Amino acid sequence: MRAGRIWWMFLVLCVSLGVRQPARAQQAPQVQAVRIVNAGPGPLDEAFVRAFISAQAGTAYDAAQVNRDVRALQETGRFSDVTAALEIGQDRATVDLIYQLQNRPRLRSIRIEGGDRVSNRRIRDLMELSIGERIDDHVLAVRAQKVYEHYRKRHFIEPELTWTIDVDEATGRADVRIEVDEGPRLSVWSVHFDGNDEVSSRRLRRAMELGGWRPWSWITKGNKFDRQVLEADRDLLRRVYMDRGFLDVEIGDPIIEDGPGRRVRIRIPIEEGPQYTIGQIHIDGLSLFHDDEVRPALRLRPDDTASMAAIEQARQNLRDFYGSRGYIRTRTRYQLEPDYERPVVDVEFEVVEGRLSEVRDIHIRGNTRTKDKVIRRELAILPGDIFDEVRVRRSESRLRNMGFFSMVRHQESPTAEEDVYDLTFEVEEGRTGQLMAGVAFSSIDRVVGFAEIAQNNFDLFGWPHFTGGGQKIQLRTQIGSRRNDVELTFVEPWFLDRQLTFDVNLFRRDARFISNDYEQRSIGGSVGLARPVGRFGRFRLSYGLQEINIRNVRERASDIIKAEEGRRSKSAVTATYTHDTRDNFFVPTRGNRTVLEGQVAGGWLQGDTDIYSVALRSSQFFPLWYDHVFSLRGAVEAVDYYGDSDRVPIFDRLFLGGPRNVRGFRFRDVGPKDERGEPIGGQSSAFLSAEYTVPVLPNVRLATFYDIGMVWDDAYEWNDELNSAYGIGVRFDIPGFPLRFDYAWPVETDEFNDRKSGRFSFMIGHVF
């Protein structure tokens, strides 16, 4: 026992000595001297180096301090290499600290060779090289990345830059020579697919950003070969299949084959696998709602195609079910369990339910010009409401659609009360003013110069800047050989702080394009009130007063037209109901727009014109395959006189013909004419157009159409005498400057239109 104790005490003593001994060995030595060594070309500024060194002679050596000194010297950008070394003294208690530095040479001259498609000067600019700056291999390699990126944007697939640096050791100056090997600039001749039995090659090509050669490829550059784009296209192709239920699809590595000239053929192997259908659908985690309440919100049913887009939308629908009821912290996810033999995939949704939440306050931030009330009145959620996330997103959408803001986003922040949140909408003011000037063309009024100034966030009483009130004001002038117009429009979308639109329109129109036998000048204005009716409807009531002057009637004009000469006043009330479900205001692909309008002029409203009119106009759009669109557009109108009037004046008669309705006929040329063949209009009209459009380029569509219509002399007179035409056209849907070009051939003609040859027409603007 005693021997055991002795050995135990000896072991403890050894361990304790072993612990204390390293402690003495780890004591830092003292720095005896700090030396600077020049390891590179050119003179070294020792004073500059020492300004970045914190280690001093006579202090204890600190490795962390030395590392910081090295990093500080490296970050100056003056040195290609910085190292620190220790020279240990004989007593091993002192060290000499040595900083060894290699200067980056200064650029004395640069020569670039090999740039062909990209000029040598452009390469130098991209590398941002200037005489006197410090350079080395690392600097040139970093700067070369901009050159590589520029070449890749121009579809050079293997550009390469090599360089030599000739350094003068005495002065530290360097001459640089850069050689550029641009490599091939390839384009795609064709894209083919192997193994795509269930999805057409055309559909797959449409999903890709990279495409084969087309006659218009020199404009779109869509066939320029780019490996990065091709790799991204593989993901797009995979998505096409997965959205059709082919969950096991494999998009193989593209095979690049030589094509004609400097073009390549791309062949993409595809293993489609089976098309899955939805099996069982499970929802786990429900406690606040019963399964029967939640399941219809998914809009996903067994035996449906197992589309990933539909499954992801079902997850979002499940999230919205809770979010629209105030459970904003609800999380949802899904898991797929495929049965490869059937093939069927079971979908299991998991819900982590949140707590019922409420909105306390709503804050608006970032609106430097727009008034708070202009923003708040567009919100679909109010303080005190449950926190409905669907209504919050709808509010964001409304704010974006105002066109006032370049950015809109929301965030919620908790308050001291549990499950009560403040909601903040953050906006960033955008440009709302607009000044435009230019020249417009059409086959009706020929060449017209126009100028327009508009403010879409106007404030009539907001002196001195007059912005931020949410109102709209526009002044537009058009001056040409066949027309001179001036028009001022003001719109208050929330009149008296209600969802009631008030508008004022003042105009002076001098039209010389409507007839060869007379000119028409109109001066007047209108005021109107409009309000929404339901989700898609709008009702507007307006009053207009104008003076119409039929002047400069030619001597050769018929008696019918001469009888119209002179001034007449028109005082009218117009009621309009519009129902609009289109998905896009200017270039719709689905939906309907129907307008029912009635007008009464004269009588108790005074004026020289006693007439009334009714009109029904409608357009229907049908989406087809591959973004093709079929549309039907038609109108039926009638106008008649009453009271003291004995006729409908020519400026209120109905006309058809021209680029807006029955193409293939001259402007206003369909319908009654006088003995000289001059159009005089009628009191009833009907029109129908069928059009099929095909997108061929971004914002470019080809069209084929068939128009039919007629104008009759008397009110409510519709018979089988018609004019019709068919044709082709092209649409350039350029924002702010849409162009329509059409060529049409008459099919059926009345007695005044026996011209069988085709007619070209063009115009600026959209047809509604």
Is residue 87 a contact partner of residue 96, using CB atoms and an 8 Å limit?
yes
- Assessment of whether the complete model's pTM goes beyond 0.95: no
- One-character DSSP codes across 476-539: EEEEESSEEEEEEEEEESSGGGSS-EEEEEEEEEEE-SS-SS-EEEEEEEEEEEEEEETTTEEE
The Cα–Cα gap between 583 and 722 comes to 33
The Cα–Cα gap between 485 and 629 comes to 35
Counting beta carbons within 10 angstroms of the beta carbon of residue 399, is it exposed (0 to 12), middle (13 to 18) or buried (19 or more)? buried
CATH class of 515-764: mainly beta
* Architecture field, domain 30-103: Roll (3.10)
Distances (CA, A) of 255 to 212, 265, 267: 14, 8, 5
Fold entry, domain 277-352? Ubiquitin-like (UB roll) (3.10.20)
Topology agreement, domain 277-352 and domain 515-764: no
- One-character DSSP codes across 678-695: -B--BSEEEEEEEEEEEE
CATH class of 106-181: alpha beta
Residue 96 three-state SS: strand
Domain parsing of the chain, residue ranges: 30-103, 106-181, 187-271, 277-352, 358-429, 515-764
Helix (H) / strand (E) element for 123: namely: helix 120-127
Structure tokens at 551: 């002047």
For domain 358-429, give the CATH superfamily. membrane protein fhac (3.10.20.310)
Contacts for 255 with CB less than 8 Å, ≥ 6 apart = 266, 267, 268, 269
Provide the pairing of β-strand 446-458 with 79-88.
Answer: unpaired
Establish whether the linkage from the previous residue to 659 is cis, with ω within 30° of 0.
Answer: no
Give residue 163's identity as a one-letter amino acid code: W
- The list of the chain residues with pLDDT below 70 reads 1-26, 153-155, 157-158, 183-185, 211-223, 261, 440-443, 445-446, 736, 754-756, 768
Q: What is the pLDDT of residue 263?
A: 75
Is residue 156 a contact partner of residue 117, using CB atoms and an 8 Å limit?
yes
| CA 195 centroid distance within chain | 35
| Other beta carbons less than 10 A from residue 341's beta carbon | 7
| CA 635 centroid distance within chain | 33
Residue 130 three-state SS: coil
Q: What is the pLDDT of residue 212?
A: 52
Contacts for 355 with CB less than 8 Å, ≥ 6 apart = 327, 329, 419
For residue 652, the 8-state DSSP code is G
Structure tokens at 292: 């029967």
Q: What is the pLDDT of residue 443?
A: 64
Work out the angle at residue 551's Cα, subtended by the Cα atoms of residues 550 and 553, and round it to the nearest 5 degrees. 105
Is residue 425 a contact partner of residue 410, using CB atoms and an 8 Å limit?
yes
- List residues bridging with 724 in a β-sheet: 708
Counting beta carbons within 10 angstroms of the beta carbon of residue 536, is it exposed (0 to 12), middle (13 to 18) or buried (19 or more)? middle
Is residue 62 a contact partner of residue 55, using CB atoms and an 8 Å limit?
yes
Residue carrying the six token digits 């350079």? 135
Residue 101 three-state SS: strand
Closest Cα to residue 218, out of 258, 178, 250, 187? 187
Q: What is the pLDDT of residue 7?
A: 36
CATH class of 187-271: alpha beta
Q: What is the pLDDT of residue 1?
A: 40
Is residue 409 a contact partner of residue 399, using CB atoms and an 8 Å limit?
no
Q: How far apart are the first and last CA of the chain?
A: 110
